[in-house]
C-alpha cells in the first residue's frame, strides 16, 4: 500500500523470517527505509515524501522513478539529473506527519549509488530529534563518487557530525539520539552537470553499546578560584534510558594545559567504573584540587583527559580553569578607563582580533570556538533561538557560551546581541510592542521610553545585554521593506522618539547599564538607510533596500545625520552602519558603501559627533565591499568599524585581520582603539563581575504590567484618518460584523521580526488579536474572515485588512509586494461597506493605497503593526481611550507619487504627514479668530520655554483645522498642514500655528 516510507520494525521482520534464520543472524536483519518501487510519493514540504530544493529555480534536481534492469533491489531506482550553481538536492521526509522512527538498534544506514566517477563529494544528512521533521537537528557526512557503476555505500552512525553552519530552528540537545528520526537528505555536487541513481536505502548492522551509551560531563569548563577544588561530574546515559548491557570505564588524569602540576594544582588520576546494569543517568564525581600562590596571574587551564571504554566518550576534554586573579583590570573599584588600559596592555594581537569578532550562535555549536578564537561576541540572528524557545532556555544557552569565555587567558566575557526591535521579539511569550512606525504615530516620547524599558527588562532577563535597536532611519519612500522600522519620515520626529534609548540603556552617562533591567542599545543604520532610491539596490531581487542614497550635503545633515547626534548625546553605546551606499552630490566619490566610508564613521560619527561607543557591522555587510576579502577587512576596519558581524566566517575574519595587521594594512593603534571601545562597554555593563544571566526579572516577561505598556502603545498608535457621521467610537450595544484577513491573525498583526526574521501569519506567540480585543471590550461581535456570512441585521461593520509579514528587502515593493490591498481584502471591504456603515482598519507596516474606496468607507484607521496587544486597538474602537495618533509618514494617493514627504515642493497626498482625527474631544470653535489667539499664546509659551503648553496649543489648532477640512484634503491644505507638524516637533509653536492658519484659509 502507498506510504511515505517502507520502514518496517525489526521485530516485524523477525516475525516474518524463518525462525532458524532469525536466530542464526548475530546482527539484526536490514530494515528497509526506501525501495523506490513507487511506494514513496514525490511531494512538497512538509508532506510525507520526496521533495527537491535549491538555491534558485535552476538548482533543484530533476527526479523520477526509473525502470532499471540492473536495479540492485526490485525493478525501479530513484534517478535524477542536476546542474547546480548554488546548492541543491533532495530530502525524504518520511515521517512528516507520522511518529518518528527509532534507528537506535542499528549500526548505520546504507544505500546503493550508481557511481559516475566524477571525484565529487556528495553530502548525506539525517534529521534527528525535535518536535517534527522541520524542527529537528541536522547531522551530516559525505561520500566521494570515485567509482563507476553500482556500489553499496555504508555509513555508520558514528560518522555523522552535527551541522553547525545551519539548523532550521537551532540545536535540540546536540546528541544523535537515533530514537526520533524524521528523514534524510542528499546534497548534490556543485559546478558540474551530472546524473545519479540511488536504490535500496536501509538500516544495517547491530548497534554496539558505544553508540547507544555515552559518557558526558556536566560542563566543558570548570572555573574555580585559586586554591579551590573543582568538581567534575561524569554521567553515563543510554539511548532510551535502558540500563547498561556491559560495564563502562572512564580513566582520567590531569595532563597538559597552562597550569603547572604540583605548583598550581594537585595532579589526579584514576578510573571510574559503571558496572553492567547501571541505570542511565548515573553520575560519579572527580575532584581536582588547585593550589594557592601569592602572585597575580591570568587564568590557567588544567585539561582532564578522559579515556572511555564501552561507551562514546565526551566530544571534548573538560577543562578546569583557575580564575585570573590579582590583576588591575579585575578590580571593580578602579575607573573603567584604567581597567581597559591594563587589560589591553596584556592582550596579544590574536586576542584583540577575537574581541573584534562576532559569530552567530548556530555557527559555534556548543561553543568550543569561543575559547579557541577568543571570540568577543555572539548573536542570535532573526529566528535563531534555543529549543525550547523559553526565557530559561535562552539564559542557559547564553550562560553556556559565557562559560566558554572563562577558559580564555583573561576571561573576557562575551557580549551577546539580539535584534529586539519591538520587544524581545525572538522570544515566544515576550511582550511585543508596535513596530517603530506605530510608536512614531503616538507622538509620545514618554511612551517610547517606557516601551524601551519593557524591552530592556525582558531582554536582559534572558541573559542578553545588547540590543541591535533602535533603528533611527528616516524613511523617505514607503516602497522600502524596512519602512515600519522607522519612527517616521521627518528627522525631527525620529529625534523626539529617541527617548527609547534611555528606556533601553538608562541614564546617558552609562551608570545604569550594569542594572539587570538595562541593555546596551544600537543606533542603526548609519547613515541614510531610509533614503535609498527605488531601483538602486543590487542585492538579489531587492528593489530599494541596501541601495544608494543620493543627497546633497545639506540634505544629509538635516534629514539623515541629525538623529545620530541626538543618539550620541543620549549616550548610545553602539552604532551599526548601513548596508546601503551613500552618494553625496558634488564630493566626487560617487556611491560608496557605508561600511567603507571612513569620512562618515571616523570623521563625522566618532570625531565630530564625539561618539565614544563602538561600531558593529551589519550581518556579513563587509562581503558587499569591492575587492578581495583581505581588502574587505582592512577597508572596513580602517573606516572605523570596531566589531565585525561575520556570523559563519569568523575564522576567516580573525585570520585575515591578523594578517592585515602584520602586513601593515591595518595599524595596531587602530586595533587598540577598536578593542578599547568594546572593552569599555563590557566593563560598563558589569559583565566582568556578572557575566551570567540574572534571571530575577524573568517573571516579568510577558507580564500584565509589561503588556499594559504595549496595550497603551497600541492604542496611542492608532491613527484615525476618516470618521464620517462619528461612526467611531463603537457602542457596546451595537451589533458589529467583523471581517478581513487581519482581524484575527496575531502574526500579521505583529509583522516581521517576530519569532522569526520574516515573521509569519498565524499564531506563533502569546497575544490578543484585534478580534479578541473587541470581544474582550464587551462588543457584540460576529466574525467572518472573508465576509461570506450573511451581512443583514448589523449596525456597523469593521473590516481589518492590510499586509502579511515581511522584513528588509524581502518586503520591498516590486519584490513580490505592492501597496494595494489583496483581492480578498478588497472584496471584504466592498461587501461589508456596501451592506452597512463600515470601519476599515489597515494593519500594515506602511500606507496602503485605499483612495479608490474612500467614498464607501465611513471610518478609516491606520493601525500600523500594533504588536501582541489587540486590546489596545479595541480600547480606541470602543471609546475606552480617545484616538490621538498622527501620521508619522505621508499617506499617498498613488504609487506614482512616491517618494512623497513633508517639505516637498510638490505635495498633494491622500492625507498629509501629521494628520490624525480624534474622538472624545471636541475641536475648538471660532475659526480664524481662535487660530490667531492660539498663535499668540503659542508665541508666549515658546518665549517661556513652556513646551507642554506650546504643544497643546498647536494640537488645538490642528484639531480646529481638521474639523474644517473634513475629507477635502487638497494640496493647498496638505503642504502647510504637514509643515506645521514639523515645526511643532522642532519647538517652533507659533510658526506651527501660523502654518495651520494657512491650511485653514485654504480649506
* Pairwise CA distance, residues 12 & 374, whole Å: 53
DSSP E strand boundaries for 692-755: 719-723, 735-739
What are the cell numbers at 507? 541614564
DSSP 8-state symbol, 164: S
* Pairwise CA distance, residues 723 & 923, whole Å: 14
Q: Could you give the strand order of the β-sheet that contains 581-584, starting from the edge strand earlier in sequence?
A: 548-551, 581-584, 592-593
Site of grid cell 582520567: 252
Helices (H) and strands (E) in the chain, counts: 26, 37
Are the C-beta atoms of residues 640 and 605 closer than 8 Å to each other?
A: yes
989-1002 vs 971-985: helix crossing angle, rounded to 10:
170
Total Cβ atoms within 10 A of residue 42? 14
- DSSP bridge partners of 274: 248
Dihedral angle over CA of 206, 207, 210, 213, nearest 10: -140
Half-sphere exposure of 97 (CA within 13 A, CB side): 9
- How many residues would you count in the chain? 1003
* Pairwise CA distance, residues 922 & 919, whole Å: 8
Please tell me whether residue 315 adopts helix, strand or coil conformation: coil
Please state the three-class secondary structure of 557-625 as a single string: HHHHHHHHHHHHHCCCCEEEECCCEEEECCCCCCCEEHHHCHHHHHHHHHHHCCCCCEEECCCCHHHHC
* Pairwise CA distance, residues 917 & 710, whole Å: 22
* Pairwise CA distance, residues 495 & 493, whole Å: 5
Catalytic residue at 200? no
DSSP 8-state symbol, 924: P
* Pairwise CA distance, residues 512 & 991, whole Å: 39
Between the alpha carbon of residue 674 and those of residues 466, 602, 687, 948, the distances in Å are: 17, 11, 18, 42
Between the alpha carbon of residue 566 and those of residues 472, 491, 639, the distances in Å are: 10, 11, 22
- Please list, in sequence order, all residues whose beta carbon lies within 8 angstroms of the beta carbon of residue 72, skipping any fewer than 6 positions away: 112, 150, 152, 199, 200
Catalytic residue at 618? yes
Instruction: Label the pairing between strands 859-864 and 837-843.
Output: parallel
- In the set 199, 485, 808, 979, the catalytic residue is 808
- In the set 125, 128, 489, 618, the catalytic residue is 618
- Please list, in sequence order, all residues whose beta carbon lies within 8 angstroms of the beta carbon of residue 83, skipping any fewer than 6 positions away: 58, 192, 193, 194
Are the C-beta atoms of residues 196 and 124 closer than 8 Å to each other?
A: no
Please identify every residue annotated as catalytic. Answer: 618, 808
Amino acid at each position: 500500500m502507498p506510504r511515505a516510507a517502507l520502514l518496517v520494525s525489526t521485530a516485524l521482520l523477525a516475525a516474518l523470517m524463518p525462525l532458524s534464520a532469525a536466530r542464526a543472524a548475530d546482527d539484526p536483519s536490514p530494515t528497509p527505509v526506501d525501495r523506490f518501487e513507487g511506494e514513496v510519493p514525490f511531494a512538497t514540504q512538509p508532506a510525507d515524501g520526496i521533495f527537491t530544493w535549491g538555491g534558485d529555480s535552476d538548482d533543484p534536481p530533476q527526479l523520477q522513478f526509473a525502470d532499471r534492469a540492473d536495479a540492485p533491489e526490485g525493478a525501479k531506482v530513484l534517478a535524477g539529473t542536476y546542474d547546480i550553481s548554488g546548492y541543491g538536492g533532495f530530502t525524504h521526509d518520511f515521517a512528516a506527519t507520522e511518529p518518528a522512527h527509532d534507528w537506535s538498534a542499528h549500526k548505520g544506514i546504507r544505500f546503493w549509488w550508481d557511481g559516475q566517477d566524477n571525484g565529487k563529494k556528495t553530502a548525506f544528512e539525517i534529521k534527528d530529534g525535535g518536535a517534527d521533521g522541520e524542527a529537528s537537528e541536522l547531522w551530516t557526512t559525505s561520500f566521494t563518487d570515485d567509482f563507476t557503476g553500482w556500489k553499496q555505500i555504508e555509513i555508520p552512525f558514528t560518522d555523522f557530525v552535527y551541522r553547525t553552519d545551519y539548523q532550521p530552528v537551532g540545536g535540540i540537545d546536540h546528541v544523535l539520539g537515533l530514537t526520533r528520526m524524521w528523514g534524510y537528505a542528499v546534497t548534490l555536487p556543485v559546478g558540474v552537470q551530472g546524473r545519479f541513481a540511488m536504490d535500496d536505502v536501509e538500516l544495517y548492522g547491530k548497534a554496539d553499546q558505544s553508540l547507544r551509551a555515552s559518557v558526558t560531563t556536566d560542563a566543558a569548563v570548570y572555573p574555580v578560584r585559586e586554591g579551590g577544588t573543582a568538581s567534575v561530574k561524569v554521567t553515563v546515559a543510554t539511548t532510551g534510558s535502558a540500563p547498561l548491557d556491559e560495564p563502562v570505564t572512564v580513566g582520567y588524569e590531569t595532563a597538559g594545559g597552562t597550569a603547572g602540576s604540583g605548583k598550581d594544582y594537585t595532579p589526579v588520576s584514576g578510573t571510574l567504573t559503571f558496572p553492567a546494569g547501571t541505570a542511565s543517568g548515573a553520575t560519579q564525581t572527580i575532584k581536582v584540587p588547585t593550589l594557592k600562590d601569592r602572585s597575580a596571574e591570568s587564568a590557567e587551564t588544567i585539561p582532564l583527559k578522559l579515556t572511555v571504554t564501552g561507551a562514546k566518550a565526551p566530544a571534548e576534554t573538560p577543562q578546569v580553569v583557575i580564575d585570573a586573579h590579582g590583576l588591575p583590570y579585575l578590580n571593580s573599584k578602579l575607573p573603567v578607563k584604567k581597567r581597559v588600559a591594563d587589560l589591553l596592555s596584556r592582550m596579544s594581537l590574536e586576542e584583540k582580533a577575537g574581541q573584534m569578532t562576532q559569530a552567530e550562535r548556530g555557527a559555534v555549536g556548543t561553543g568550543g570556538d569561543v575559547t579557541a578564537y577568543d571570540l568577543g561576541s555572539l548573536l542570535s540572528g532573526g529566528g535563531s533561538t534555543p529549543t525550547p524557545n523559553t526565557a530559561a532556555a535562552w539564559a542557559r544557552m547564553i550562560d553556556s557560551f559565557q562559560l566558554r569565555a572563562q577558559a580564555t587567558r583573561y576571561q573576557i566575557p562575551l557580549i551577546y546581541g539580539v535584534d529586539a526591535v519591538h520587544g524581545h521579539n525572538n522570544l515566544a511569550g515576550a511582550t511585543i510592542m508596535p513596530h517603530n512606525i506605530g510608536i512614531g504615530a503616538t507622538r509620545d516620547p514618554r511612551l517610547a521610553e517606557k516601551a524601551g524599558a519593557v524591552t530592556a527588562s525582558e531582554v536582559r532577563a534572558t541573559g542578553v545585554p545588547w540590543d541591535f535597536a533602535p533603528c533611527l532611519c528616516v524613511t523617505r519612500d514607503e516602497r522600502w521593506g524596512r519602512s515600519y522600522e522607522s519612527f517616521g519620515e521627518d528627522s525631527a520626529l525620529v529625534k523626539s522618539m529617541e527617548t527609547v534609548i534611555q528606556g533601553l540603556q538608562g541614564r546617558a552617562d552609562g551608570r545604569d547599564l550594569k542594572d539587570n533591567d538595562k541593555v546596551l542599545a544600537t543606533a542603526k543604520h548609519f547613515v541614510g538607510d531610509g533614503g535609498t532610491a527605488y531601483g538602486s539596490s543590487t542585492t538579489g531581487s531587492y528593489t530599494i533596500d541596501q541601495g544608494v542614497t543620493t543627497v546633497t550635503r545639506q540634505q544629509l545633515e538635516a534629514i539623515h545625520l541629525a538623529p545620530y547626534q541626538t543618539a550620541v548625546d543620549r549616550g548610545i553605546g553602539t552604532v551599526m552602519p548601513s548596508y546601503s551606499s551613500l552618494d553625496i552630490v558634488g564630493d566626487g566619490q560617487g556611491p560608496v558603501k557605508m561600511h567603507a566610508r571612513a569620512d562618515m564613521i571616523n570623521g563625522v560619527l566618532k570625531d565630530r559627533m564625539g561618539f565614544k561607543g563602538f561600531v558593529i557591522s551589519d550581518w556579513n555587510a563587509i562581503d558587499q565591499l569591492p575587492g578581495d576579502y583581505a581588502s574587505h577587512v582592512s577597508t572596513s576596519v580602517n573606516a572605523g568599524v570596531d566589531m565585525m558581524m561575520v556570523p559563519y566566517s569568523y575564522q576567516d575574519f580573525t585570520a585575515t585581520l591578523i594578517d592585515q595587521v602584520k602586513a601593515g594594512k591595518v595599524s595596531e593603534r587602530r586595533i587598540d582603539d577598536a578593542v578599547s571601545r568594546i572593552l569599555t562597554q563590557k566593563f560598563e555593563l558589569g559583565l566582568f563581575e556578572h557575566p551570567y544571566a540574572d534571571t530575577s526579572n524573568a517573571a516579568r516577561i510577558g507580564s500584565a504590567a509589561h503588556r499594559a505598556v504595549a496595550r497603551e502603545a497600541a492604542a496611542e498608535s492608532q491613527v484615525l484618518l476618516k470618521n464620517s457621521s462619528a461612526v467611531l467610537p463603537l457602542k457596546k450595544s451595537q451589533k458589529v460584523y467583523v471581517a478581513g484577513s487581519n482581524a484575527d491573525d496575531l502574526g500579521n498583526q505583529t509583522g516581521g521580526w517576530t519569532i522569526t526574521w520574516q515573521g509569519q501569519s498565524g499564531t506563533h506567540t502569546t497575544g490578543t488579536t484585534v478580534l479578541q480585543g473587541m470581544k474582550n471590550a464587551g462588543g457584540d461581535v460576529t466574525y467572518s474572515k472573508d465576509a461570506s456570512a450573511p451581512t443583514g441585521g448589523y449596525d456597523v461593520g469593521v473590516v481589518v485588512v492590510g499586509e502579511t509579514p515581511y522584513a528588509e528587502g524581502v518586503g520591498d515593493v516590486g519584490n513580490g509586494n505592492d501597496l494595494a490591498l489583496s483581492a480578498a481584502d478588497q472584496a471584504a471591504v466592498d461587501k461589508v461597506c456596501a451592506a452597512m456603515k463600515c470601519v476599515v482598519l489597515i494593519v500594515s507596516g506602511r500606507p496602503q493605497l485605499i483612495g479608490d474606496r474612500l467614498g464607501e468607507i465611513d471610518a478609516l484607521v491606520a493601525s500600523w503593526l500594533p504588536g501582541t496587544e489587540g486590546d489596545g486597538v479595541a480600547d480606541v474602537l470602543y471609546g475606552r481611550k480617545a484616538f490621538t495618533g498622527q501620521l508619522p509618514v505621508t499617506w499617498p494617493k498613488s504609487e506614482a507619487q512616491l517618494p512623497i514627504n513633508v517639505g516637498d515642493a510638490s505635495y498633494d497626498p491622500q492625507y498629509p504627514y501629521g494628520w490624525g482625527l480624534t474622538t472624545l474631544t471636541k475641536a475648538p470653535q471660532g475659526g480664524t479668530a481662535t487660530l490667531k489667539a492660539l498663535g499668540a499664546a503659542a508665541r508666549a509659551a515658546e518665549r517661556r520655554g513652556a513646551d507642554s503648553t506650546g504643544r497643546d496649543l498647536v494640537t488645538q489648532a490642528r484639531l480646529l483645522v481638521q474639523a474644517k477640512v473634513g475629507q477635502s484634503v487638497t494640496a493647498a491644505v496638505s503642504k502647510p498642514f504637514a509643515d506645521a507638524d514639523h515645526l511643532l516637533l522642532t519647538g517652533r509653536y507659533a510658526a506651527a500655528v501660523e502654518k495651520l492658519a494657512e491650511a485653514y484659509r485654504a480649506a
